[in-house]
Structure 1
Amino acid sequence: APGSGVTWPVVSLAVATGLASLWLRRRDDGTERRVCVLVLGDLGRSPRMQYHALSLSKHGYHVTFVGFSETKPHEDVLRQERIKMEPIREVKGVQVGPKIFTYVTKVILQTLQLLLVLLKMETQSHILMQNPPGLPGMAVAWLVCVLRGSRFVVDWHNYGFTIMALSLGAAHPLVRLAKWYEHFFGPLAAHSLCVTAAMKDDLQKNWGIGATTLYDRPASVFRETPVKRRHELFVRLADAHLQFQSSGCEEDERVEGTAFSVRDLSGDAVTLRAERPALLLSSTSWTEDEDFSVLLDALEDYEGFINAGAALPPLVCVITGRGPQKDHYMKLIDSLRLEHVKICTPWLEAEDYPVLLGSADLGVCLHKSSSGLDLPMKVVDMFGCCLPVCAIHFNCLHELVKHEENGLIFRDSQELAEQLKSLLSGFPSSDGRLGDFRRNLRTSRGQSWDDNWDQNVLPLVAPP
Structure 2
Amino acid sequence: MAALLWLAFCGALLLLLLWWRARPAGSEARAAVVVLGDLGRSPRMQYHALSLARRGFQVAFVGYPGTKPHNNILCNENIQIVHIPEYKARQVGPKVFQYITKVIVQTIQLFYVMLKITNPGYILLQNPPGLPSIAVTWAVCFLRGSKLIIDWHNYGYTIMSLTHGERHLLVRIAKWYEQLFGRLSDYNICVTNALKEDLEVNCNIRAITLYDKPPSFFKETPLSDQHRLFMKLSKDYNPFKAQSLTEPVLPSDDNEKSAFLQRDIRSGQVTHQKDRPALLVSSTSWTEDEDFSILLKALEEYEHYINDGMRLPPLVCVITGKGPLKEYYSKLIATMHFKHIQICTPWLEAEDYPLLLGSADLGVCLHKSSSGLDLPMKVVDMFGCCLPVCAVQFQCLHELVKHEVNGLIFKDSSELAGQLKTLFWEFPTTEGKLNLFRRNLRTAKQLRWDESWERTVFPLFSNSS
- Counterpart residue number, 2:331: 331
C-alpha deviation, 1:241, in angstroms: 1.0
Cα distance change on mapping 1:111 and 1:248 into 2, 3 Å: closer
Which of 164, 177, 180 pairs up with 2:176?
180
C-alpha deviation, 1:17, in angstroms: 8.0
C-alpha deviation, 1:253, in angstroms: 7.9
C-alpha deviation, 1:97, in angstroms: 1.1
Which of 50, 63, 66 pairs up with 1:54?
50
Q: How far apart in 2 are the matches of 1:273 and 1:82?
A: 48
8 Å contact from structure 2 (residues 388, 407) kept in 1 = yes
Residues 94-133 of structure 1 aligned to structure 2 (within 5 Å): 94-133=90-129
Deviation digits for residues 142-178 of structure 1 (CA, Å, limit 9, x no counterpart): 0000111100000000000000000110011010110
- Counterpart residue number, 2:69: 73
Deviation digits for residues 195-230 of structure 1 (CA, Å, limit 9, x no counterpart): 001001111111111100000000111000001110
- Counterpart residue number, 2:221: 225
Residues 386-405 of structure 1 aligned to structure 2 (within 5 Å): 386-405=386-405
SS at match of 2:243: coil
Q: How far apart in 1 are the matches of 2:340 and 2:98?
A: 46
8 Å contact from structure 1 (residues 280, 316) kept in 2 = yes
SS at match of 2:28: helix
C-alpha deviation, 1:254, in angstroms: 3.0
The letter for the 2-side match of 1:202 is: D
Which of 159, 163, 178 pairs up with 2:159?
163
Which of 7, 23, 26 pairs up with 2:24?
26
SS at match of 2:234: helix
8 Å contact from structure 1 (residues 384, 445) kept in 2 = no
Cα distance change on mapping 1:452 and 1:346 into 2, 3 Å: same
Q: How far apart in 1 are the matches of 2:54 and 2:350?
A: 21
- Counterpart residue number, 2:353: 353
Residues 368-387 of structure 1 aligned to structure 2 (within 5 Å): 368-387=368-387
Which of 207, 211, 229 pairs up with 1:215?
211
Q: How far apart in 2 are the matches of 1:46 and 1:17?
A: 30
Q: How far apart in 2 are the matches of 1:18 and 1:357?
A: 50
Scaled by the length of structure 1, the TM-score of the pair is 0.91
- Counterpart residue number, 1:11: none
Cα distance change on mapping 1:95 and 1:445 into 2, 3 Å: same
Q: How far apart in 1 are the matches of 2:297 and 2:261?
A: 29
C-alpha deviation, 1:98, in angstroms: 1.1
C-alpha deviation, 1:446, in angstroms: 2.3
Deviation digits for residues 98-142 of structure 1 (CA, Å, limit 9, x no counterpart): 111111111101100100110111211110000001111011000
Which of 36, 43, 48 pairs up with 2:39?
43
- Counterpart residue number, 1:191: 187
SS at match of 1:33: strand
8 Å contact from structure 2 (residues 25, 145) kept in 1 = no
Which of 189, 198, 201 pairs up with 1:202?
198
The letter for the 1-side match of 2:185 is: A
8 Å contact from structure 2 (residues 218, 385) kept in 1 = yes
Cα distance change on mapping 1:49 and 1:19 into 2, 3 Å: closer
Residues 231-270 of structure 1 aligned to structure 2 (within 5 Å): 231-247=227-243, 254-258=254-258, 260=260
- Which runs of no fewer than 5 residues in structure 2 stay unpaired? 1-14, 264-269
Deviation digits for residues 274-298 of structure 1 (CA, Å, limit 9, x no counterpart): 4310000000000000000000000
Cα distance change on mapping 1:285 and 1:310 into 2, 3 Å: same
1:148 lines up with 2:162 in the alignment: no
Q: How far apart in 2 are the matches of 1:315 and 1:248?
A: 12
Cα distance change on mapping 1:253 and 1:341 into 2, 3 Å: same
Cα distance change on mapping 1:150 and 1:316 into 2, 3 Å: same
Cα distance change on mapping 1:20 and 1:306 into 2, 3 Å: closer
Identity percentage of aligned residues: 60
Which of 134, 142, 154 pairs up with 1:138?
134
SS at match of 1:239: coil
C-alpha deviation, 1:256, in angstroms: 2.2
Deviation digits for residues 250-307 of structure 1 (CA, Å, limit 9, x no counterpart): 8x983422361589xxxxxx95444310000000000000000000000000000000
C-alpha deviation, 1:92, in angstroms: 2.8
- Counterpart residue number, 2:366: 366
SS at match of 2:220: coil
C-alpha deviation, 1:20, in angstroms: 4.0
- Counterpart residue number, 1:453: 453
8 Å contact from structure 2 (residues 320, 348) kept in 1 = yes
Q: How far apart in 2 are the matches of 1:191 and 1:71?
A: 29
Cα distance change on mapping 1:19 and 1:132 into 2, 3 Å: closer
Deviation digits for residues 58-90 of structure 1 (CA, Å, limit 9, x no counterpart): 110000000011100000111110000001122
The letter for the 1-side match of 2:214 is: P
SS at match of 2:82: strand
- Which runs of no fewer than 5 residues in structure 1 stay unpaired? 1-14, 264-269
C-alpha deviation, 1:56, in angstroms: 0.3
Q: How far apart in 1 are the matches of 2:142 and 2:235?
A: 53
Scaled by the length of structure 2, the TM-score of the pair is 0.91
Cα distance change on mapping 1:19 and 1:308 into 2, 3 Å: closer
